Amino acid sequence: MTYFEGIDKISFEGPQSKNPLAYKYYNPDEVVLGKRMEDYLRFSVAYWHTFVADGSDPFGVGTMQRPWSGYTGMDLAKARVEAAFEFIDKLGLKYFAFHDRDIAPEGDTLAETNRNLDVIVSMISDYMKTSSVKLLWNTANLFTNPRFVHGAATSPNADVFAYAAGQVKKSLEIGKQLGSENYVFWGGREGYETLLNTDMGLELDNLARFYHMAIDYAKEIGYTGQFLIEPKPKEPTKHQYDYDAASAIAFLYKYGLIDHFKLNIEANHATLAGHTFEHELCVCRTYGVLGSVDANQGDTLLGWDTDEFPTDLYSTTLAMYEIIQNGGLHRGGLNFDAKPRRGSFEAVDLFHAHIAGMDSFAKGFKVAAKLVEDGVLEDFIAQRYSTYRDGVGAEIVAGTADFKALAAYAAERPIVNQSGRQEMLKSILNQYLTTL
Ligand code: XUL
Ligand code: CO
């Protein structure tokens, strides 16, 4: 059965093409920085937005017209798998990502839920055997069901902690079975609403205990995917513990978890935290924990997670610049945790949306690669910090200077600063963006 009737494989036609169902910049075979674009960018489709979400919002019901809408229960779950592999193949994607609850319906008990999962996971596994599509990451949904009303690993109720552990245990087994390259923890309800009823110390200790149990179980079953924490400051909770990259990293250090985790940075989560996307990526690469990316964009006029497909070339360029400085994303990828707007309700809009996202990142990648090749920013930055290469600066860096020596050095010396040249650099960036 064909789900996306009338839509052929999407191919690269170049920037002059007038065909909306073609790539203008994403050319999988083009070599950039010594690697095929496809191998560098590792695009992934998010199962929940593309095959599950129906366009409902707090003010209205779903609007999305989907070829699988007529099915229910396990039949719906199976139809979605068939549609997913057709979609992935038509776009030429290589990765996908899902929550346990996206792929199979929840049963009355954990055992029944797991039986539903087994049926769908074996179907996905069969599809994966006959295609080159891989699972970028999987995760457990520990936020939708009312049992998680007060949190999962940070719930005040130990029975909920136990249930969440059972759910993640199963998800790690699925990760092993399908060979997921990463496993994501997004703490949807791991935060608090009011400090008046919250023992923050116990909640954080328990969250760390939960992660240590996950590490132990992964080791026990031989699951080798990279563990990722996805920071987000708020929504659904008022305050989420993994507020941003810096708070997640502090948590990982405090609880002896830093060697076992990297971070999955989502652009819209950065915006919600009051940071730019590139800031969060830069913090991660500086601390050596940049793992993967949820590629989307927010709206600076709206205070919530809009999960738009990324189309802002300025942002994709600066993000790819950070990713290149990181030596790529290694086992991570660019997962489109993004949804077409509620008004873009036709199935073909899913194609337009992914094409827009992939082209935006491909273009940003090419511009960032050229900036790096030409050493534009590196040379400027190297010169800006050149006082640390010799004299007193070199002594500071080498650790041989102390306050007494520095005070004596500074006593009679006039200080001459250099311009930061911000406007010149932005103008050069625009030049690269518009001429490449
Ligand atoms: C929510 C979000 C999640 C995670 C996976 O804002 O980003 O979809 O990516 O649980
Ligand atoms: Co996300």
Q: How far is the CA of 86 from the centre of ligand 2 (A)?
A: 23
Q: Which pLDDT score is estimated for 120?
A: 99
Q: What is the pLDDT of residues 317-351, one digit of tens each?
A: 999 999 999 999 999 999 999 999 999 999 999 99
So what's the pLDDT on residue 219? 98
Q: Indicate if 99 belongs to the active site.
A: yes
Q: Tell me the backbone φ, ψ of residue 49, rounded to 5 degrees.
A: -80, -40
Residues contacting ligand 1 via CB (< 6 Å): 99, 139, 184, 186, 230, 232, 266, 294, 305, 337
pLDDT at 294: 99
For the cut 90, the answer to whether the pLDDT of residue 300 exceeds it is no
What's the pLDDT at 81? 98
Average pLDDT, the chain: 98
**Residue 29 falls in the annotated catalytic set:** no
Whether pTM exceeds 0.95: yes
User: Measured between alpha carbons, how far is 306 from 315 in angstroms, rounded to an integer?
Assistant: 16
User: In angstroms, what is the span from residue 333 Cα to ligand 1's centroid?
Assistant: 15
Ligand 1 pocket test target in 294, 305, 339 with most atoms within 8 Å of CB: 294
Percent over 90 (pLDDT), the chain: 99
186, 235, 263, 265: residue to mutate for ligand 1 pocket, most atoms within 8 A of CB? 186
pLDDT tens string 85-96: 999 999 999 999
**117-159 pLDDT per residue, tens:** 999 999 999 999 999 999 999 999 999 999 999 999 999 999 9
Residue type, 358: M
Ligand 2 centroid, distance to 266 Cα (angstroms): 6
pLDDT in tens, 109-118: 999 999 999 9
Could you report the per-residue pLDDT of 181-196, keeping only the tens digit for each?
Answer: 999 999 999 999 999 9
Of 39, 49, 54, 102, which is the active-site residue? Answer: 102
